[in-house]
């Protein structure tokens, strides 16, 4: 096992990115395969959507708990455990022969993802110092995260068509093995950064229940209606539990989410922006996919290929955002990025039944994706700016929770708006009009994100006064102490197996 506390930054970045890619991929890779899965396993029509929903439900519900576990039990330990759970459940899903088996496997994947996502981000924030190094690392991580989600549709379509739907699950296994293989090459074992503290079980249960009920209420609203008794009761219960959670965390000696963390302008502002941007991005992705398949008549595989320009734009926007953020601040890239994304979605909102991919999709895709890319990397940097090492997992879990909850709320709410606009009509004009309205609302969400960045985020960052991370300083002190004791053969910083 590695005893060094620094590791090799390049290896840490690679492992975190590979893991995040698979987490993002599985948010969308199954969607295209649903019709085939339903026929093969005999799903009831109303139950089939739970193959997608249960992953988001468990993932979003346990993210705060996963983040705090990183602080209490060690980032690498939680990272490895999450990858193993994810891989085993992917194998189980690929071998499923009944609906309940696949749904259980997807729930297990959500559990693994809830451990992997916050631990990967926490490893990056602990390894790379605030400033240019962290901005670049989080830029790569954000680009991979976005690419994983965008490529999921393409991968799902191709795998289902040419290899069978089971490979939508089994493809995860070699990716998980790649991430695990990178760990002994330079991911530090580290230590619990919150040693001596116990998990806040009342807070953990309350936070998990709040997130699960919120996601459950939102994802079911598109089928039972926002005004139904079930939806109202579910969301009201989530609200009551949230009030209880605030009381619990205020009194806890080692809270799951320290209330003071939310008082930080970087953390609170970034999480509001993440929520708004994720709601707009996920909903737009969903509505544009429906437009291309239901109105333009593209196949699932062709629709996946059609999102490649969007992926390229995301990467290009991220590259530019990294340079801007490193030279100035996250705010400098976030505001124009959100404005550009809003402009692209306004362009998307002009779609009509007589459109085409080249005229109505390609141009808006490029503009929107560049804007989203300008937002993703800076907002991840902002959400972790000034966070102490012993709360890195807490901050990472919070940001990932905001993203998942924002995405779930955005898709459900904007899908409802689109459906309400078109009503029961199957006329292409009415249906595309519903999609257009939903995309216009998504543009409004990015406009709100721009306003939030202007109002909530500080103008200046503390980077200029920070040159090394606290973990680097701590490791240097340990080495100095060892030398003073005459132990000149201390290997803890060498990165060699012991």
CA 476 to chain centre: 34
For tokens 């995301």, name the residue: 314
pLDDT of residue 308: 87
**8 Å CB contact between 28 and 310:** no
CA-to-CA distance for 331 and 379, rounded, in angstroms? 8
* Class of residue 313 by CB neighbours under 10 A (exposed 0-12, middle 13-18, buried 19+): buried
| Exposed / middle / buried, residue 416 (Cβ in 10 Å: 0-12, 13-18, 19+) | middle
Do 173 and 87 form a contact (C-beta atoms < 8 A)? yes
63 Cβ neighbours under 8 A, 6+ residues apart? 114, 117, 118, 211, 397, 400, 401, 404
Contacts of 427 (CB under 8 A, 6+ apart): none
pLDDT at 176: 96
What's the helix, strand, coil split of the chain in %, to 5?
80, 0, 20
Pair of tokens at residue 250 = 């205020």
The whole-number pLDDT of residue 49 equals 74
Q: Which residues make Cβ contacts (< 8 Å) with residue 135, sequence separation at least 6?
A: 322, 325, 326, 377, 378, 381
42 φ/ψ sector (left φ>0, alpha ψ -120 to 50, else beta): left
pLDDT 10s digit of each residue in the chain, 498 long?
A: 344 455 789 999 999 999 999 998 888 888 778 888 988 998 876 677 788 878 888 888 888 888 888 888 888 999 999 999 999 999 999 999 999 999 999 999 999 999 999 999 889 888 888 777 888 888 888 888 878 877 887 888 888 888 889 999 999 999 999 999 999 998 887 665 555 567 777 887 888 888 788 878 877 776 777 788 998 999 999 999 988 888 888 887 777 778 788 888 899 999 999 999 999 998 888 888 888 888 888 877 788 788 889 888 988 998 899 888 888 888 999 999 999 999 999 999 999 888 888 888 999 999 999 999 999 889 988 888 888 877 878 888 888 888 888 888 888 788 888 888 877 677 888 888 999 999 999 999 999 999 999 999 987 776 544 444 444 444 544 454 444 444 444 443 333 333
28 in Cβ contact with 55 (< 8 Å): no
Q: Which residue, among 425, 122, 309, has the nearest Cα to 433 in the 3D structure?
A: 425
Where does residue 6 fall: left (phi above 0), alpha (psi -120 to 50 degrees), or beta otherwise? alpha
Taking Cα atoms as reference points, which of 429, 319, 13 lies closest to residue 187?
A: 13
């Amino acid at each position: 096992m590695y005893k060094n506390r620094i590791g090799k930054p390049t290896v840490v970045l690679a492992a975190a990115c590979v893991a995040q890619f698979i987490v993002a991929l599985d948010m969308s890779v199954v969607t295209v395969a649903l019709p085939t899965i339903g026929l093969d396993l005999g799903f009831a029509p109303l139950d089939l959507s739970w193959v997608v929903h249960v992953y988001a439900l468990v993932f979003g519900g346990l993210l705060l708990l996963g983040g705090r576990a990183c602080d209490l039990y060690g980032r690498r330990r939680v990272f490895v455990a999450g990858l193993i759970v994810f891989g085993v459940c992917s194998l189980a899903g690929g071998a499923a022969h009944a609906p309940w088996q696949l749904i259980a496997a997807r729930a297990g994947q959500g559990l693994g993802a809830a451990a992997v996502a916050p631990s990967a981000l926490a490893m990056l924030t602990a390894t790379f110092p605030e400033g240019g190094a962290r901005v670049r690392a989080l830029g790569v991580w954000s680009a991979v995260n976005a690419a994983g989600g965008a490529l999921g549709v393409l991968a799902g379509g191709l795998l289902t068509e040419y290899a069978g739907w089971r490979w939508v699950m089994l493809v995860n296994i070699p990716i998980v093995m790649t991430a695990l293989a990178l760990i002994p090459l330079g991911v530090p074992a580290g230590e619990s950064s919150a040693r001596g503290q116990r998990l806040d079980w009342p807070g953990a249960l309350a936070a998990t229940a709040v997130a699960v009920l919120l996601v459950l209420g939102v994802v079911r609203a598109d089928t039972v209606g926002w005004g139904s008794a079930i939806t109202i009761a579910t969301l009201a219960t989530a609200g009551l539990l949230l009030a209880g959670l605030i009381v619990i965390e205020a009194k806890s000696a080692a809270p799951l989410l320290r209330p003071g963390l939310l008082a930080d302008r970087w953390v609170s502002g970034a999480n509001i922006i993440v929520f708004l941007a994720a709601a707009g991005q996920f909903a737009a992705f969903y509505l544009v996919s429906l437009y291309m398949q239901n109105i333009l008549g593209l196949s699932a595989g062709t629709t996946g290929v059609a999102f490649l320009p969007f992926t390229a734009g995301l990467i290009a926007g991220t590259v530019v955002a990294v340079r801007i953020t490193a030279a100035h601040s996250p705010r400098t890239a976030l505001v124009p990025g959100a404005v550009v994304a809003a402009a692209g979605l306004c362009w998307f909102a002009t779609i009509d039944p007589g459109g085409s991919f080249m005229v109505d999709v390609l141009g808006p895709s490029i503009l929107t994706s560049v804007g989203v890319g300008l937002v993703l990397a800076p907002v991840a940097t902002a959400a972790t700016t000034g966070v102490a090492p012993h709360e890195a997992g807490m901050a990472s879990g919070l940001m990932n929770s905001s993203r998942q909850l924002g995405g779930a709320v955005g898709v459900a709410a904007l899908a409802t708006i689109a459906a309400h606009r078109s009503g029961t009509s199957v006329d292409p004009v009415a249906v595309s009009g519903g999609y257009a309205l939903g995309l216009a609302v998504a543009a409004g969400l990015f406009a709100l994100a721009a306003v939030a960045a202007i109002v909530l985020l500080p103008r200046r960052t503390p980077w200029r006064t920070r040159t090394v991370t606290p973990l680097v300083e701590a490791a240097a002190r340990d080495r100095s102490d060892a030398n003073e004791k005459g132990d000149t053969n201390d290997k803890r910083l060498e990165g060699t197996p012991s």
